Amino acid sequence: MKKTVIGAVILILWASGSANSSSKWNVLLITIDTLRADRLSCYGFSSVQTANIDRLAGRGTVFSRAFAHTPTTLPSHANILLGTTPLYHGVHENSNFVVRGELWTLAEHLKREGYSTAAFVGAYPLDSRFGLDQGFDVYDDDYGSQSARGASFFVERKAEAVVAKAIAWLAEYRRSSPWFLWVHCFDPHEPYNPPPPFSETFKNKPYDGEVAYVDHALGKLLVELEARDLLSRTIVILTGDHGESLGEHGEATHAYFAYNATLWVPLIICIPGVRSNSVDQYVSHIDLFPTLCDALGIKPPAGLPGLSLLPAMKGRKLRHRPIYFESLYPYYSRGWAPIRGVILDMKKYIDSPLPELYDLVKDFGENHNLADKERLDDYRKTLEAVMRAHSTPAASASRRAPDRETIQKLRSLGYVSGLEEPKESFNREDDVKILLPYHNRSMEARDLYREGNKERAKTILKAIIQDRKDIDVAYMNLATLYKEEGKMVEAIQVLKEGLTSLPTNYPIFSTYVNFLVASGQFNEVIAAISNASFRQMEYDPEIWNFLGIARASKGETKEALAAFEKSLAIDDKFSSSYVNRGMLFLAQFLESRDPSLAARAEEDFRRTIALDPGSAAAFNGQGVVCRLNGDFDQAVSHFLRAIELKPGYGDAVYNLGMAYFDKKDYARALRAFEDYRKKFGASLSQADRRKLDELIQECRRRL
Ligand SMILES: [Zn+2]
């Protein structure tokens, strides 16, 4: 009898343990890009009411002092999803690094525990090409495709679009296994353009408007979870990847400095059964991985440096430890001095040529540098010890040269990517605090120019170059302003000076070559590329396309072909090289009449149009091939399309006239030739003009 009772009790305990077993809990990770903790109403901010995030805060624990280790998107998410800092995983900024396949991610860890995994990310810095997709069954980084004109990229999508995809995944979810869902909302990242009604409500504070909008979008996800009664079975973590300076310390956005404006992030953790409260102990992103393992009752991977925050959530004190941070985008992409540091005993030490020390209890805004008043040796030693303990030789293998597409897309988000090899030693002149004001002034000058204040803009940029010879954006912006004014000689001269001062700066070099091509200086293009030895050239299809154009223009067909082929070997989706190679084949065909060359030209134009439906040159080329094949109707439609894409496209207008002439549609042919003569007659050679006039006469005669 007794035995039976005990057996029953054990059975009941086992059953109830099973029903509430933490290993069955789902995990929802929400990361909001560029989110300052002090913009959430649950952090005491009053201008924005973030009712939905507050609702989560009401269910869980609000960490009032949580820190990111890095102020840029890719490394920060790597810190969260790998549970290590860049010292270990080696990803220091957005453009020059990937998360290596051999690293073990939270998604892989949960997948091994039987979880279904899905990620919905909002912007290009988290594209699967950077390696954070490891372990996800679904990694949705579809923020749109290249636009029809091929001119601009879609590099982000709105929070509502991300959330809608996540909700659809949840709705489709019919498996018995638990799930891990990561939702990333990019909206508070610049440019700040919240949709209505937030654009109206926050007219003068668009950043706050983006925060309010994300809260609104997340509300739909929370409602969905509540409706399915999932919140009581789901661990929810909400954090920001980094903050936004909004002008503090002279930094407009993020990625340069490592002040709390960008390292302090919101952190809310909801664990079923853990009472809601708030924690003011110092915690960081690498603590999230071990916290989840602890809460789920699963073994964490060996060697994770973070701490489980579960004890803190239950009111206990966490072990004393330094929190490492760094800001190395300026170092890797601009060649400026590195910023690294530690937060220790409520003090923050920032190691740079001009070191800083702040008392975070009295001065969380970091306005009173104590570096001159206190001994820094102990902090330096702590930083060195942390770096020694957590660095791995393998970390350097995360470095990759970015390709053209990456550079272009990241540039559209405001990241300048350059520099071959960072310097080894630095002095105060290399300190980010000294250099950033020059960068800011260069960007202000560009804005002044766009507002029509051209002379003032040029004066500022010239003064910067006079003062410091190493501000790359000053040269680039001044050259671009000259180019927009049609002053190519001055533009090229500025870039030449820039290259003299900064001979390893690839963005200046490639812009210089671009401008030489645009002004028809083909000998100089060939000389510049032949004498250059940038490592980036091996990853840049555009530079070889420029060389091909220069060689082709000089009649060096074989060399031109080799250059286009090199460009396409680097990037087989680089449409400009297809269209230029097609033109080259076409020219060769007209000389040799070898039909295989016409076929190859046709193939190149077809590929170009498939990659870039807005390429007028490719439609013009297609039209020429059709005309040569006697398919005049098709030729006409290609030329019309080319002109539609590029109004005033002389070659296509002339070719259209010829195709109508072939079709014996002399009225339309006449109209095209007359149009062509009106627009381009003055620039034609005497012989060409005579030929055109004869065609016009012939049309009139036959009408
Ligand atoms: Zn970010």
- 257 CA to centre of ligand 1 in angstroms: 14
- 539 CA to centre of ligand 1 in angstroms: 26
- 408 CA to centre of ligand 1 in angstroms: 17
For the record, the structure tokens of 343 come out as 């937060």
Domain end (from 285, 319, 353): 319
The answer to whether residue 148 sits within a structural domain is: yes
Close Cβ partners of 680 (under 8 Å, ≥ 6 residues apart): 650, 653, 654
- 95 CA to centre of ligand 1 in angstroms: 13
- 323 CA to centre of ligand 1 in angstroms: 20
pLDDT surpassing 80 at residue 648: yes
- 73 CA to centre of ligand 1 in angstroms: 3
- 417 CA to centre of ligand 1 in angstroms: 16
The answer to whether residue 594 sits within a structural domain is: yes
Q: Are 116 and 180 in contact (CB under 8 A)?
A: yes
Q: Are 194 and 210 in contact (CB under 8 A)?
A: yes
- Distance, in Å, from the CA atom of 258 to the CA atom of 341, rounded to the nearest integer, reads 9
Confidence at residue 447, expressed as pLDDT on a 0 to 100 scale: 92
- 49 CA to centre of ligand 1 in angstroms: 22
- 220 CA to centre of ligand 1 in angstroms: 23
Q: Are 328 and 69 in contact (CB under 8 A)?
A: no
- 112 CA to centre of ligand 1 in angstroms: 28
- 189 CA to centre of ligand 1 in angstroms: 7
The pair phi, psi for residue 116, each rounded to 5°, is -85, 140
Confidence at residue 22, expressed as pLDDT on a 0 to 100 scale: 60
Q: What is the CATH number of the domain that holds 213?
A: 3.40.720.10
- 534 CA to centre of ligand 1 in angstroms: 29
Environment of ion ligand 1 (residues, CB < 5 A): 33, 73, 241
Structural domain of 90: 20-319
Model confidence at 24, pLDDT cuts 50, 70, 90, reads confident
Model confidence at 501, pLDDT cuts 50, 70, 90, reads very high
- 185 CA to centre of ligand 1 in angstroms: 9
For the record, the structure tokens of 640 come out as 């019309």
- Distance, in Å, from the CA atom of 563 to the CA atom of 526, rounded to the nearest integer, reads 11
Burial (Cβ within 10 Å: 0-12, 13-18, ≥19) of residue 335: buried
Q: What is the CATH number of the domain that holds 584?
A: 1.25.40.10
- 336 CA to centre of ligand 1 in angstroms: 21
Confidence at residue 539, expressed as pLDDT on a 0 to 100 scale: 81
Confidence at residue 632, expressed as pLDDT on a 0 to 100 scale: 95
The answer to whether residue 44 sits within a structural domain is: yes
Share of the chain above pLDDT 70, in %: 92
Q: Give the closest residue to 81 by CA, choosing from 285, 309, 296.
A: 285
- Distance, in Å, from the CA atom of 532 to the CA atom of 659, rounded to the nearest integer, reads 44
Number of helical H runs and strand E runs in the chain: 29, 13
The answer to whether residue 639 sits within a structural domain is: yes
For the record, the structure tokens of 207 come out as 């950043």
The answer to whether residue 283 sits within a structural domain is: yes
- 234 CA to centre of ligand 1 in angstroms: 25
Tell me the per-residue pLDDT of 565-617, one tens digit each, with 9 for 90 and over.
999 998 888 999 999 999 999 999 989 999 999 999 999 999 999 999 999 99
Terminal alpha carbon distance of the chain: 115
Beta bridge partners of 327: 339
- Distance, in Å, from the CA atom of 559 to the CA atom of 346, rounded to the nearest integer, reads 63
- The C-alpha torsion from 66 through 72 and 75 to 80, rounded to 10°, is 30
Dihedral sign computed on CA atoms, order 88, 92, 97, 98? positive
Place of tokens 């539609």: 644
- 92 CA to centre of ligand 1 in angstroms: 13
The pair phi, psi for residue 452, each rounded to 5°, is 100, -5
- 540 CA to centre of ligand 1 in angstroms: 26
The answer to whether residue 458 sits within a structural domain is: no
Tell me the per-residue pLDDT of 350-402, one tens digit each, with 9 for 90 and over.
999 999 999 999 999 999 999 999 999 999 999 999 999 999 888 888 887 67
The answer to whether residue 198 sits within a structural domain is: yes
- 334 CA to centre of ligand 1 in angstroms: 19
pLDDT surpassing 60 at residue 146: no
- 42 CA to centre of ligand 1 in angstroms: 21
Model confidence at 174, pLDDT cuts 50, 70, 90, reads low
- 255 CA to centre of ligand 1 in angstroms: 9
DSSP, res 273? T
Burial (Cβ within 10 Å: 0-12, 13-18, ≥19) of residue 233: middle
- 399 CA to centre of ligand 1 in angstroms: 19
**Residue 65, SS3?**
strand
- 123 CA to centre of ligand 1 in angstroms: 9
- 151 CA to centre of ligand 1 in angstroms: 25
- 188 CA to centre of ligand 1 in angstroms: 9
The DSSP result for 333-361, as a single string, is: II-PPPEEEEEETTEEEEESSS-EEEETT
- 460 CA to centre of ligand 1 in angstroms: 31
pLDDT surpassing 70 at residue 4: no
- 75 CA to centre of ligand 1 in angstroms: 9
Average pLDDT over residues 178-198: 95
Confidence at residue 151, expressed as pLDDT on a 0 to 100 scale: 33
Q: Are 190 and 2 in contact (CB under 8 A)?
A: no
Confidence at residue 354, expressed as pLDDT on a 0 to 100 scale: 97
Tell me the per-residue pLDDT of 653-692, one tens digit each, with 9 for 90 and over.
999 999 999 999 999 999 999 999 999 988 889 999 999 9
- 100 CA to centre of ligand 1 in angstroms: 20
Domain end (from 319, 341, 374): 319
- 676 CA to centre of ligand 1 in angstroms: 51
DSSP, res 249? G
- 28 CA to centre of ligand 1 in angstroms: 19
- 243 CA to centre of ligand 1 in angstroms: 8
pLDDT surpassing 80 at residue 6: no
The 10 Å Cβ neighbour count of residue 504 is 16
Q: Which residue has the higher pLDDT, 173 or 526?
A: 526
Confidence at residue 416, expressed as pLDDT on a 0 to 100 scale: 64
- Distance, in Å, from the CA atom of 240 to the CA atom of 221, rounded to the nearest integer, reads 17
Q: Give the closest residue to 77 by CA, choosing from 131, 156, 137, 136.
A: 131
Domain end (from 300, 319, 338): 319
What does the radius of gyration of the chain's CA atoms come to, in whole angstroms? 30
User: For 132, what's the count of Cα atoms within 13 Å in the CB-facing half-sphere?
Assistant: 28
- 77 CA to centre of ligand 1 in angstroms: 8
- 643 CA to centre of ligand 1 in angstroms: 41
Averaged pLDDT score across all residues of the chain: 91
Tell me the per-residue pLDDT of 34-89, one tens digit each, with 9 for 90 and over.
999 999 999 999 889 999 999 999 999 999 999 999 999 999 999 999 999 999 99
- Distance, in Å, from the CA atom of 649 to the CA atom of 675, rounded to the nearest integer, reads 11
- Distance, in Å, from the CA atom of 653 to the CA atom of 669, rounded to the nearest integer, reads 10
- 383 CA to centre of ligand 1 in angstroms: 25
The answer to whether residue 288 sits within a structural domain is: yes
- 76 CA to centre of ligand 1 in angstroms: 7
- 413 CA to centre of ligand 1 in angstroms: 11
- 81 CA to centre of ligand 1 in angstroms: 14
Confidence at residue 177, expressed as pLDDT on a 0 to 100 scale: 81
- Distance, in Å, from the CA atom of 419 to the CA atom of 99, rounded to the nearest integer, reads 21
Q: Are 376 and 349 in contact (CB under 8 A)?
A: yes
Confidence at residue 697, expressed as pLDDT on a 0 to 100 scale: 95
- 31 CA to centre of ligand 1 in angstroms: 9
| Count of the separate structural domains present in the chain | 2
Q: Which residue has the higher pLDDT, 169 or 151?
A: 169
- 241 CA to centre of ligand 1 in angstroms: 5
